[in-house]
Amino acid sequence: MTFALVAVLLIALGAGFYARRRVVGIRAGGTRVNSLPNYHAIYVALWVLLPALLFLGIWASVQPGLVEQSVLASPAGQALPDFAMARDNIISEARQIALGQRSVGFIPESAGIAPVYAEANSRLSWIGGGIALLVALLGGFFALRRIGADFRARSGVERWLMGLLVGASLIAILTTLGIVMSLLFESLRFFQMVSPTEFLFGTTWSPQTALRADQAGSSGAFGSIPLFWGTAFIGAIIAMIVAIPLGLMSAIFLTQYAPQRLRAWLKPMLEILAGVPTVVYGYFAALTVAPLVRDLGIGIGISSASSESALAAGLVMGIMIIPFVSSMADDSIAAVPQAMRDGSLALGATRSETIKKVVLPAALPGVVGGVLLAVSRAIGETMIVVMAAGLAANMTANPFESVTTVTTQIVQLLTGDQEFDSAKTLAAFALGLALFVITLILNLIALRVVRKYREAYE
Amino acid sequence: MQRRVARRYAAERRFKLFGLAAVGISVAFLAFLLITMAWKGAGGFTRGEAQLTIDFPRSDLMVDPAALSRSDASNVLQSAGLEGVVDQAAVAQFGAAGADLFGPASVRELADQLVDDPSLLSKRAQLWLPLSSRGDVAVKGDGDPALEAMLTRAETRRSFNAAFLTSSDATDASVVGVWGALKGSLLTILVTMALAFPIGVLSALYLEEFAPRNRWTDMIEVSINNLAAVPSIIFGLLGLAVFLNFMHLPRSAPLVGGLTLALMTMPVIVIAGRNAIKAVPPSIRDAALGVGASKMQVVFHHVLPLALPGILTGTIIGMARALGETAPLLMIGMRAFIATPPGGITAPSSVLPVQIFLWSDEVDRNFVEKTSAAIIVLLVFMLLMNGLAIYLRNRFERRW
């Protein structure tokens, strides 16, 4: 593969230089050429490079699957156990040995499969590399045949560039599609094992019992309501109680009251608050804020106060969201026409009355949109809740008790010893799908609200 | 009437004060966070050392003096039983529990000192050696009382722990360092940058300059705006399903981390890029078109260079965010214990935020200050990147 890549690059370079020399030669002969020699060179090089690279990229992503099939079809592969999980384990170990990522496997069979795997891998690499070289050469011949005095190489190059531009912007759609497909695919497998109604409306969450197939109650309990309650409790209630008043008042102060110099200092400081990595907030919440909150809880007589309280995680998350709310509010306040403000002030209202009675109502859709985006960010936030919220799925409204969230559970489910067909790991994808859908809806509503509001004044 | 005016003015002052308080609380929280981290983390950059008397001729160390001039002398020494020598000397000086005071860091340090000065081997020497993790906590004043009492009998000091910046993860808190994770972070960011920047810039150019208004481009726009707001852990799930389970790329590698983060950062760059491109005045385009440039030449020769500073600012901010991202990397297996710095983008590696997360789970108290020290390193990087972005913005910002 690497060899093919280097060869393709060299061919492109060589063909480009050749094309350039030829066009320079034509030009020196006194003929007027349509495009500059460099455009001819780039045209040829692109024809060599892009189709071959595209092929190599596709080949690289399908090759492991092909290798696996050819290993399974070989005599050694047919002797492997039929049971899918055991077979996959052996093959994945054989792959690691074959690719030199480890020297010996834990399963004895893998040592026998490794040479078969290595052989199939190198054979398919050669085939892929060979086809890529062929594609490169064909592209080169095709392009070289066309260059000449009359050929419009520049438009050719520009067509390629246009293709690149379109391709780049399609990546966003592909990513979205990839997210939806991978979440949907794995979730469907999950819903074959656990009924969707249980997942969506069940009130017990204890995936741990599904660890072993022969255990009593091995199906586990996958009722996700407590997780969504915990997520909403921390992200949409506690965090917002902190973030909305502080963020909104900060925005009002910074836009309406603060002198220019002070604003120039304070605004970047709020932005730093948004730039601090979430793992730092999580550590801070777990190490410093959580004990304080627990002591406070015990101090006011709540004996069940936990050191992994919803309050600690929510508080810190709220602080993290402040700059987000404040900059959204800032934008929508700034968008309120000055004439409305002047009108209110001219009637004798004080500045705070103008803000409360005129500016805020006018800016309200923007603020609401900003708050919705903030909620969406808060419920998708992972590290703070992983480090500071608990693991027990509780449906409690007591902020001093521990609750768990969707993101915490995804991390828990996917970072242990994982086996890929168990309901336990697949549940993480179902949770991910639910999270994705919820944040998607929140974002779409928020964007619509914000856009509609902006149009009203423009 | 007068009373009502006075009341309204009081309300005005109160409102303004609330605003000031809101900003004050946020800034105070930031200060509290930074000061707590600096306070707790400062200790991570220093290590406690104690003076230990070692009588080399009477110890049972078997080292060929000729080996000391070889390049691997330090390793030879460490495997020649230096640990026993240190334990012996510590027991002789502090009593039976003294062996707890010195750990792997002191063996490493002693080996280095012997390589520097082989003549030590023939005499009874008083040497400064770093303490073990437990000893370190004790010398900093809140450890095991027995060890603290023991340390009052020796000369102790604090010195700068250069090894923290040059070594990698370990099981013993006294010898851990951030270099492996830092290198992993840099490699991951390089991959992210190499993918996200060109793709982001190209699609911003397409959407802003060429795209017709139709259903397709609407779909592209909606997906970019939506991707920018998708929770980061979802990108981790995507990476796990596509790059690891489908494409079988190596686990825990910067390559996969970079790919995942690139998909996450790309929309941020596109949005910043579009704003920067939109800010280039139409007169520039008209002028170039007027002298006969093609649309593509206008974009690549004139619009892009003028928009580049703005795009770069957005890119740096996106990169800073990717540098601090943890959750998606946990999903693709970057939470393994990795004690050597990665050799390339396909080698298993850790990254700084994940390293912080892993250390924060350790029970050893010495890990608390190491975690905070690693946080300081990460924050310094973030602030540098954000500072660079602000500098670029101020330096190149142009009003048309």
| Total-model pTM | 0.88
* Residue in A173, A383, A386 nearest the CB of B223: A173
Interface A-B: count of C-beta contacts within 8 A: 257
Contact B220 A169 (CB under 8 A): yes
- Residue B381's nearest CA partner among B353, B341, B358 is B353
For residue A33, the 8-state DSSP code is: P
Specify whether the CB–CB gap between A22 and A149 falls below 8 A. no
Of the candidates A154, A178, A380, the beta carbon closest to that of B233 is on A380
Q: How far apart are CA B267 and CA B78, in angstroms?
A: 51
B156-160 β-sheet, strand order: B124-130, B46-55, B156-160
Do the strands B46-55 and B124-130 form a parallel or antiparallel pair, or are they unpaired?
antiparallel
Q: Does A85 touch chain B (CB under 8 A)?
A: no
Q: In this complex, do A175 and B266 lie within 8 Å of one another by their Cβ atoms?
A: yes
Residues counted in chain A: 458
Hey, are the CB atoms on B330 and A415 less than 8 Å from each other?
yes
pLDDT (tens digit, 9 = 90+) per residue, B137-187?
777 767 677 777 777 777 777 888 888 888 888 888 778 889 999 999 999
Q: What is the pLDDT of residue A457?
A: 56
A109/B374: higher pLDDT: B374
Q: Are A287 and B368 in contact (CB under 8 A)?
A: yes
Identify the sign of the CA torsion A420, A423, A427, A430.
positive
pLDDT of residue B340: 83
End-to-end CA distance of chain B: 51
Cα Rg, chain A, nearest whole Å: 31
Which single residue is written with the structure tokens 């605003």? B19
The pLDDT value given to residue A92: 74
C-alpha neighbours within 13 Å on the C-beta side of residue B323 = 27
The answer to whether ipTM exceeds 0.85 is yes
Across chain B, mean pLDDT equals: 85
Q: Is residue B107 pLDDT above 50, yes or no?
A: yes
DSSP lists the bridge partners of residue B159 as: B47
Amino acid at A183: L
Cβ–Cβ < 8 Å for A407, A385 = yes
Q: Which of A164, A256, A286 sits opposite B360 (nearest CB)?
A: A286
Name, in order, each residue with C-beta under 8 angstroms of A205's C-beta and a sequence gap of 6 or more. A221, A222, A223, A224, A225, A226, A227, A393, A404, A409
Q: Which among A172, A257, A428 has CB closest to B223?
A: A172
Per this entry, what is the length of chain B? 400
Cα A220 → chain centroid: 29
- Phi and psi at B156, nearest 5°, equal -125, 160
pLDDT tens per residue, range B294-346: 999 999 999 999 999 889 989 998 999 999 999 999 988 888 888 888 888 88
Residue A330 in contact with partner chain B when CB distance is under 8 A: no
Task: Report in angstroms the alpha-carbon separations of A149 from A145, A152, A229.
Answer: 12, 8, 71
DSSP-H helix ranges across A254-405: 260-275, 278-284, 290-299, 310-334, 338-346, 351-354, 360-380, 383-388
For residue B91, the surrounding DSSP H or E stretch is helix B82-94
| pLDDT attached to residue A456 | 58
Q: Return per-residue pLDDT of chain A as tens, 458 residues.
A: 778 889 889 988 998 888 888 888 888 888 888 888 888 888 999 999 888 998 998 888 788 788 888 888 887 777 776 666 667 777 777 777 777 666 666 777 777 777 888 888 888 888 988 999 999 999 888 888 888 778 888 888 899 999 999 999 999 999 999 999 999 998 998 898 888 888 888 888 887 654 455 544 555 688 889 999 999 999 999 999 999 999 999 999 998 898 999 988 888 888 888 889 999 999 999 989 999 999 998 888 887 778 888 999 999 999 999 999 998 898 888 888 889 899 999 999 999 999 999 999 888 888 998 899 999 999 999 999 999 988 888 888 888 888 999 999 999 888 766 566 677 888 899 999 999 999 999 988 888 887 776 655 54
Sequence-ordered list of residues with C-beta below 8 angstroms from that of B196, at least 6 positions apart, any chain = B261, B262, B263, B265, B266, B269, B315, B318
Cα gap A282→A270, rounded to integer Å = 18
**Nearest of A72, A63, A71 to residue A127 by alpha carbon:** A63
Torsions phi, psi for A390 (to 5 deg): -90, -170
Q: What is the pLDDT of residue A216?
A: 46
Burial of A51 (0-12, 13-18, 19+ CB in 10 A): middle
Nearest chain A Cα distance for residue B214, angstroms? 14
Closest CA to A363 of A389, A382, A343, A337: A337
Distance, CA of B206 to CA of B270 (rounded, Å): 10
Q: Is A260 on the interface with B (CB under 8 A)?
A: no
Give residue B303's identity as a one-letter amino acid code.
V
- Type of residue found at A103: S
The total of other beta-carbon atoms located within 10 Å of residue A279's CB is: 29
Q: Which residues contact A159 (CB under 8 A, 6 or more apart)?
A: none
Cα(first)–Cα(last) distance of chain A, in Å? 55
Interface membership of A169 toward B (CB under 8 Å): yes
Band (B289; pLDDT cuts 50, 70, 90): very high
Q: Are B281 and B400 in contact (CB under 8 A)?
A: yes
Q: Cα separation of A44 and A412, whole Å? A: 52
Contacts of A376 in chain B (CB under 8 A): 229
Residues in chain A within 8 Å Cβ distance of B206: 165-166, 168-169
Residues of chain B with pLDDT > 70, as a percent, come to: 93
How many CB atoms are located within 10 Å of the residue B145 CB?
Answer: 9
Say whether pLDDT at B104 is over 80.
Answer: no
Q: How would you class A131 by CB atoms within 10 Å of its CB: exposed for 0-12, middle for 13-18, buried for 19 or more? A: middle
Q: How many CA atoms lie within 13 A of B367 on its CB side?
A: 17
| A417 backbone dihedrals φ, ψ, rounded to 5° | -75, 115
Q: Considering only CA atoms, which of B223, B259, B267 is closest in space to residue B241?
A: B259
Question: Do the chains contact at A183 and B234, CB–CB below 8 Å?
Answer: yes
Closest residue of A to B206, CA-based?
Answer: A165
Cβ neighbours of B238 in A, within 8 Å: 175, 178-179, 182-183
3-state secondary structure at position A222 = strand
pLDDT (0 to 100) of residue A218: 52
Between CA B364 and CA B358 the distance in angstroms is 12
Backbone angles phi, psi at B54, to 5 degrees: -120, 130
Residue the block writes with tokens 């080292």: B63
In the three-class reduction of DSSP (H, G, I as helix; E, B as strand; rest coil), residue A316 is classed as helix
- φ, ψ for residue B231 (rounded to 5)? -55, 140
**Structure tokens, B257:** 């981390």
Identify the burial level of B5 via C-beta atoms within 10 angstroms of its C-beta, where 0-12 means exposed, 13-18 middle and 19 or more buried: exposed
- Bridge partners of A156, per DSSP, are none
Neighbour tally for A53: CB within 10 Å: 17
Which backbone phi and psi does B159 adopt, to 5 degrees?
A: -135, 165
Find the helix or strand (DSSP H, E) in which B128 lies.
Answer: strand B124-130
Alpha-carbon torsion angle B115, B117, B118, B121, nearest 10: -110
Residues of B in contact with A253 (CB under 8 A): 16, 19-20, 22-23
pLDDT at A317: 94
Contact B202 A278 (CB under 8 A): no
